[in-house]
């Protein structure tokens, strides 16, 4: 069986019809958003990019919800003189089918910087890590991940180039950014880890 280092499975509702995004080597790509509710009732609104051929192959007879299998990707863009990391889902297949919402991510790769460990005002442990998940042609996707509880504490002992395997979900988070022209509402995308396999082959579970 092939060892998976980057895979996401989503099932949710289409927010709006796909819009043309870009063209690369005569291949056309389209962008849309998928709404995936959590058990808590919070809804993650996630960006998806799909090649035209994937959209054309969709079977629309199975229902109104979309099931997407693909990868979590990143892309660096320059705006206002600064680099911004765009996170999105690259769809490899799309099915129309009814069912329970799904948001399952598996990622594996080395840390590209040391973890950041902190506690919330209520004492909850959090650790932020950035994984460099390998892709074909010697490329990598740089993906921000959040670990919680005891797993956060264990991950905080890791260092740059240590390898982690994370299972969790892709989530959206709205925040306010203060700029020179005022306050702007922005959306961040990150992987919230449910389990993480650390370099010492420890396997810890954390609760949301």
pLDDT, tens digit (0-9, with 9 covering 90-100), for 70-124: 999 999 887 666 778 899 999 999 999 999 999 999 999 999 999 999 998 888 9
Is pTM beyond 0.85? Reply is yes
Classify 6-103 by CATH class.
Answer: mainly beta
For the chain, give the longest Cα–Cα distance. Answer: 53
Cα 84 from chain centroid? Answer: 15
pLDDT higher than 60, residue 17: yes
User: What is the distance between the alpha carbons of residues 44 and 33, in angstroms, rounded to a whole number?
Assistant: 10
pLDDT higher than 70, residue 199: no
CB 28 within 8 A of CB 51: yes
pLDDT, tens digit (0-9, with 9 covering 90-100), for 19-32: 999 999 999 999 99
Tell me, what's the pLDDT at 128?
A: 96
- Using alpha carbons, list the distances in angstroms from residue 134 to 5, 84, 110, 141: 8, 20, 9, 6
Tell me, what's the pLDDT at 205?
A: 40
Where are the domains positioned within the chain? Answer: 6-103, 107-200
107-200 has the same fold as 6-103: yes
Six-digit token string for 61: 């007879």
User: What is the distance between the alpha carbons of residues 17 and 39, in angstroms, rounded to a whole number?
Assistant: 26
DSSP H/E element including 150: helix 149-155
Tell me, what's the pLDDT at 69?
A: 97
pLDDT, tens digit (0-9, with 9 covering 90-100), for 164-177: 999 999 999 988 87
CATH for 107-200, among 3.40.50.300, 1.20.120.530, 2.40.50.140, 3.40.50.1240?
2.40.50.140
CB 133 within 8 A of CB 143: yes
Beta-carbon contacts of 94 under 8 Å, excluding residues fewer than 6 positions away, are 50, 54, 55, 57, 58, 66, 67, 68
Six-digit token string for 45: 């609104």
Nearest by Cα to 148 from 199, 194, 201, 202? 194
């Amino acid at each position: 069986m092939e060892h998976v280092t980057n895979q996401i499975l989503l099932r949710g509702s289409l927010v709006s019809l796909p819009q043309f995004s870009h063209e690369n080597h005569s291949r056309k790509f389209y962008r849309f958003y998928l709404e995936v509710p959590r058990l808590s009732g919070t809804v993650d609104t996630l960006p998806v990019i799909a090649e035209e051929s994937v959209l054309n192959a969709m079977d629309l007879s199975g229902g109104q919800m979309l099931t997407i299998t693909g990868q979590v990707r990143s892309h660096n863009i320059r705006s206002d003189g600064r680099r911004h990391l765009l996170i999105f889902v690259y769809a490899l297949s799309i099915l129309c089918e009814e069912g329970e919402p799904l948001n399952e991510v598996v990622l594996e790769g080395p840390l590209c910087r040391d973890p950041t460990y902190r506690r919330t005002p209520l004492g909850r442990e959090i650790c932020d890590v950035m994984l460099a998940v390998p892709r074909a042609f010697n490329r990598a996707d740089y993906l921000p991940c959040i670990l919680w509880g005891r797993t956060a504490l264990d991950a905080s002992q890791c260092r740059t180039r240590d390898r982690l395997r994370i299972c969790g979900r892709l989530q959206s988070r709205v925040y306010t950014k203060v700029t020179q022209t005022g306050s702007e509402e922005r959306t961040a995308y990150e992987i919230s880890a449910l389990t993480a396999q650390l370099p010492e082959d420890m396997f810890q579970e954390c609760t949301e």
